[in-house]
Structure 1
């Protein structure tokens, strides 16, 4: 990889040319053998987009698909980190192995994670069967860095039974988690109702279950009641078929898209492999669980709710539908990243944008014409290959 190839595309293209029968990378072999050091190094390469990282992820893929991926999201101060800590300990008490990815805010100076979550996750220190990793959001509005999905694959291939992804807590933009997790829990702190009202504009639709944390504080009962009322109103306005949010399931189309506000995503969610069998399963109604995370209260109820949703996904066939839609979205994301890279290379090869910007300022051309001129040779090449 050269300095002008920050995502390792050149290196990985060479690896692809070597054929699919290439030997497994020693780092991946060590990871599959249970080396925590190899797991940590793999995730570091993934997060840093180091040379050859795509080859590593490609070799991981065949070993994935067994972990239960749980997303924990909600507003700042809801107690996500404390609850994740208790959740991991409860799973360990049941004999399950756990991987935790905590998405922290990005440092404005280094771009790295602020690491605030480590302070509140101390219950499992020294337990080698709980792997904790902080990752930087790197400015993404959806609350997840683009490396999170690949890091989840590493933990899955390593053999973790449960993979928990805690988002950065950026409010209503916390929607990317639904593209990574099988089950999404939205934490809501007791309040006067303003936080619950904000959910209407953002993350209400992505919740598989709600957790009213800090339930020992004043206002908890009111928050629970408001959530119940909002769920009833929502179910009355939108008829849900076999689920509650539109990422992986079919809903009434109110915007010409796929139900989650992405009209360009096509009809990937409409092809439900569960078929008629899914109709026999009762539609999922998001439960509301009350917890006091710092005292461990309500955690077992939370685990039971997560298990119930997992059973629903399996019994209804939605788990496979989620995976199908998730891979489709992942492919689209990779294509967008690679196309951006190709365009950057083409612009650089044509002397950059400075002269063209100056021409636009002088009204000698316009941005649309400039874009068309840059894209034309790439479009011609694609058309020739298609023919």
Structure 2
């Protein structure tokens, strides 16, 4: 794994792709790769792109890549796709997306399978972003799964969050209700050549006017990703927000949030596994499942009981004095 990691540090794209697969699958050696990556942090600018299905996120990502490449910046795209219920892999995969970019040595594209994870991202997101950062990309674009209004997790990982909408679908109101409105650093009205684009932009501006004054004021931009209209302005807004974060101290806070999100993911995995192992060993897990099957219990109550029993057992273990030789 040490040799593979060194190849990633040198910018070897196939090595990076292989490492991401190992991390996604939790394969042997993946933990060592991740540990090395966190000890060799990169300086990539991470941009999250979120929004409801059908607003043109993928086309917009492609357009942003074109714009950033014209500025001489290297770009990695991490697109979280729905999972196949049979294989657990990404349904769309890399081959059907951004085909014309496969020969550009300064662009890396990878699909990750959401594997049923809520929040629009995947459990491996933090680790994958850290690996990509080691490879030295200037920008990393994270496109969420398109699961609608549950995609707020992107704010935990990105320096800048783009919320993408399209006109005429009532998206502005839906975004406000979903809570996505609060996470947006830049709002993008894509497909702005359609009727209603100006109205959607005006609605968003009105909502932003209701925010408390001070701090960063998210711009609302119109784009037509398929023609490139508005993309230079969007790239400028991303740069402006990043500079604001650096000057205000917000960048350090966002990097810390990313580490906290990764820490939370590992804690969840570790604690769930420990509770289930203890419950299985004591026979309580089997009793809970039998009660659920008989309609005599519910998952919430059973989970609370298992957690309480685990905490009680852990407390008792802590009180037992260790043997001295």
Normalising by structure 2, report the TM-score: 0.90
Aligned to 2:122: 145
Aligned to 1:271: none
Kindly state the Cα deviation for residue 357 of structure 1 after the two structures are TM-superposed. Answer: 4.3
> What does 1:299-314 align with in structure 2 at a 5 Å threshold?
299-314=231-246
Q: Secondary structure at the match of 2:79?
A: strand
Are 1:100 and 2:36 an aligned pair?
A: no
Aligned equivalents of 2:281 and 2:113: distance in 1?
32
Kindly state the Cα deviation for residue 363 of structure 1 after the two structures are TM-superposed. Answer: 7.3
Unaligned runs of 5+ in 1: 1-23, 243-282
> What does 1:57-72 align with in structure 2 at a 5 Å threshold?
57-72=34-49
From 197, 209, 212, give the equivalent of 2:173: 197
Are residues 353 and 159 of structure 1, via their aligned partners in 2, closer, same or farther at CA, if it must alter by over 3 Å? Answer: same
Kindly state the Cα deviation for residue 374 of structure 1 after the two structures are TM-superposed. Answer: 4.2
Kindly state the Cα deviation for residue 86 of structure 1 after the two structures are TM-superposed. Answer: 1.4
Are 1:326 and 2:258 an aligned pair?
A: yes
Q: Secondary structure at the match of 2:49?
A: strand
Aligned to 2:162: 185
Aligned equivalents of 2:40 and 2:81: distance in 1?
27
From 310, 313, 320, give the equivalent of 1:377: 313
Kindly state the Cα deviation for residue 377 of structure 1 after the two structures are TM-superposed. Answer: 2.5
Q: Secondary structure at the match of 2:99?
A: coil
Q: Which moved more, 1:57-66 or 1:216-225?
A: 57-66
Is the CA contact (8 Å cut-off) linking 2:44 and 2:136 kept in structure 1?
yes
Q: Which has the higher contact order (CA 8 A, sep 6+)?
A: 2
Q: Secondary structure at the match of 1:50?
A: coil
Q: Secondary structure at the match of 1:325?
A: helix
Are 1:224 and 2:156 an aligned pair?
A: no
Kindly state the Cα deviation for residue 382 of structure 1 after the two structures are TM-superposed. Answer: 4.9
Aligned equivalents of 2:9 and 2:295: distance in 1?
59
Is the CA contact (8 Å cut-off) linking 1:84 and 1:164 kept in structure 2?
yes
Aligned equivalents of 1:384 and 1:222: distance in 2?
67
RMSD (Å) for aligned C-alpha atoms:
2.4
Aligned equivalents of 1:384 and 1:212: distance in 2?
62
Is the CA contact (8 Å cut-off) linking 2:157 and 2:254 kept in structure 1?
no
Unaligned runs of 5+ in 2: none
Are 1:73 and 2:50 an aligned pair?
A: yes
Q: Secondary structure at the match of 2:17?
A: helix
Are residues 133 and 117 of structure 1, via their aligned partners in 2, closer, same or farther at CA, if it must alter by over 3 Å? Answer: closer
Are residues 382 and 46 of structure 1, via their aligned partners in 2, closer, same or farther at CA, if it must alter by over 3 Å? Answer: farther
Are residues 219 and 363 of structure 1, via their aligned partners in 2, closer, same or farther at CA, if it must alter by over 3 Å? Answer: closer
From 14, 32, 39, give the equivalent of 2:9: 32
Aligned equivalents of 2:67 and 2:320: distance in 1?
58
Q: Secondary structure at the match of 1:119?
A: coil
Is the CA contact (8 Å cut-off) linking 1:85 and 1:122 kept in structure 2?
no
Are 1:317 and 2:245 an aligned pair?
A: no
